[in-house]
Amino acid sequence: MSAIAATEPFLERAPQLLRDAATGFLPEPWRWLVNSLIAIGVILAVFGTLFAFLTLAERKILGRVQNRPGPNRTPLPFIKIKFFGLAQPFADGVKSLTKEDIVPRDADQVLHFLAPVVLLAFSIITFAVIPFGRHLVPVELDAGVLYFFAAGAATELAVFMAGWASHNKYSLLAAMRALAQLISYELPLLLAWVPVVLVAGSLSTTEIVTAQAGWKFGFLPHWYVFTPWGFAGFVIFIVAALAESNRSPFDLPEAESELIAGHLTEYSGFKYALFFMAEYFGMIALSGMAITLFLGGWRAPLPFLEWIPSYAWFGAKLIVLLLGFIWIRATFPRLRMDQLTRFAWKFLVPLALINLGNAAFWSLTSHWTGALQLIRWAVSLVLIVGPFVLMGRKLSAGVAPRVYRYAPS
């Protein structure tokens, strides 16, 4: 991490000051080691807690959407006050730790054990390159974005391992679905962020955030989501991220109404909890990457709000995105397998490719000013909205609009 100017606000420097106070007396190689260990510990603690309360938030919000209270009976320890079921995550943790760990007799013992470990390991190492704040980047890599998606690509392999090793037909079906889903959605996910790299001119997460600095007319931030290609890329990225993290409406590998619990069928106790942990970590990491690539990273949305420390802005954006994911899960029905793959190959991939050309146009016309700027916006908008409308019509031909025959409209 680079040296920090003492002129910056205290809150911005606080994490570093705290760390240096703790490790400042150590000689150099040890200091680096301890600093890295502290970074790892903080990431695990912060996102572990976020995971715990995210499960609670998800269950409460899903409950509200479905007109039921959600978990509300878990009292806070020792004081017996039922405060919105706030202690539920800890009760769940104790439960999954103390449950019996069942491994089927016919299962592939080694792979069955290895699958949750591999899944969780690869979900966690993706956090290493996300810039959580102005000075809070755990590892600065020249090819940080590539590292992130390389680590993320290995997670679906673990889902396959789990499904295949369980020696259960539902699990095997889930494994096949997971593979098909990964092959289909890996492409739009990768193609969605390539325009950002093209325009920012760097694969480093820190430099991508730096490239989104500044204000238009003094108050509009230069985030990529506020450009035509950036908005399209953001939406494609979020859709593909939902599919990559096996979230509803793309949770086909564990579709509980079709496959019991898919690849999780033969897992119990703490291994089951590890799968859940990895799913939420994957979702948090992909949201963090979406923020970094499209939503300006840790930057404040308005100039006069810049006194709030950068990591607070990152956290706020992260929570908004995660709540959006929960909202999507509560709202949309699950896709069918053929719809899932058709949507990826016939809609998202071509749209992402067109968007790449759009970003190339944007990058080539960056010197246009005045009236030409308006033309630039118009052309870019047409380049993405046109194909969207045309392909959407073709995809939904014969399907939409839906006719409600039995329900009054």
Partner 1 sequence: MNAALAFIAVLTLASAAVAMALRNLIHSALLLIASWFGLAAFYLWAGAEFVAFAQVLVYVGAISMVVLFAVLLTRRSRQDLAVEPASLGRALSALLVGATVAVVLARAIFATPLAVAPTATPTISVRQLGAQLMGPHAAALLVVGVILTVALLGAVVLAATDRADSKENAP
Interface positions with partner 1 (CB under 8 A): 111, 141-143, 146-147, 149-151, 153-154, 156-157, 160-161, 164, 167, 175-176, 179-180, 182-183, 186, 190, 201-203
Q: Which two tokens stand for residue 315?
A: 């956290």
Tokens of 94: 């104790």
Half-sphere exposure of 37 (CA within 13 A, CB side): 8
Q: Closest approach of Cβ 204 to partner 1, in Å?
A: 8
SS3 for 158? helix
Residue closer to partner 1, measured from CB, 170 or 311? 170
> Rounded distance, CA 354 to CA 364, Å?
15
Give the containing element (helix H, strand E) for 215: strand 215-216
Q: What's the closest the beta carbon of residue 293 comes to partner 1, in angstroms?
A: 16
Cα(278)–Cα(285) distance, integer angstroms: 10
Residue type, 106: D
Burial class (CB in 10 A: 0-12, 13-18, 19+), 400: exposed
Pick between residue 178 and residue 225 the one whose CB is nearest to partner 1: 178
Instruction: Identify which of residues 231 and 345 has a Cβ nearer to partner 1 in the complex.
Output: 345
Is the distance from CB of 58 to CB of 70 less than 8 angstroms?
Answer: no
Closer by beta carbon to partner 1, 88 or else 126 = 126
What does the buried/exposed string (b/e) look like for 38-69 if buried means 16 or more CB atoms within 10 Å of the residue's CB?
ebeeebeeebeebbbebbbbbbbbbbeeeeee
Decide whether 207 or 258 has the Cβ nearer to partner 1.
207
Shortest distance in whole angstroms from residue 214 CB to partner 1: 22
Instruction: Report the nearest approach of partner 1 to the CB of residue 143 (Å).
Output: 5
Complex with partner 1: residue 273 or 340, whichever CB lies closer: 340
In the complex, the smallest distance separating the C-beta of residue 276 from partner 1, rounded to whole angstroms, is: 23
113 or 226: whose CB is closer to partner 1?
Answer: 113
Among 135, 140, 139, which residue's Cα sits nearest to residue 18? 135
Separation of alpha carbons 318 and 326, rounded Å: 12
Which of 108, 306 has the CB closer to partner 1? 108
The answer to whether residues 303 and 218 touch, using CB atoms and an 8 Å cutoff, is yes
Q: Is the dihedral of CA 385, 239, 361, 212 positive or negative?
A: positive
Tell me the two tokens of residue 45.
Answer: 């603690």
User: Which CB, 55 or 265, lies closer to partner 1?
Assistant: 265
Alpha carbons within 13 A on the beta-carbon side of 85: 20
**How near is the Cβ of 89 to partner 1 at its closest, in Å?**
32
CB of 74 to partner 1, least distance (A): 40
Nearer Cβ to partner 1 (1/143): 143
The least CB distance from residue 181 to partner 1, in Å, is 10
Least distance CB 292 / partner 1 (angstroms) = 17
Tokens representing 33?
């080691």
Least Å distance, CB 111 to partner 1, is 7
Residue that is written with structure tokens 């006719």 in the block: 403
Strand partners, 215: 221
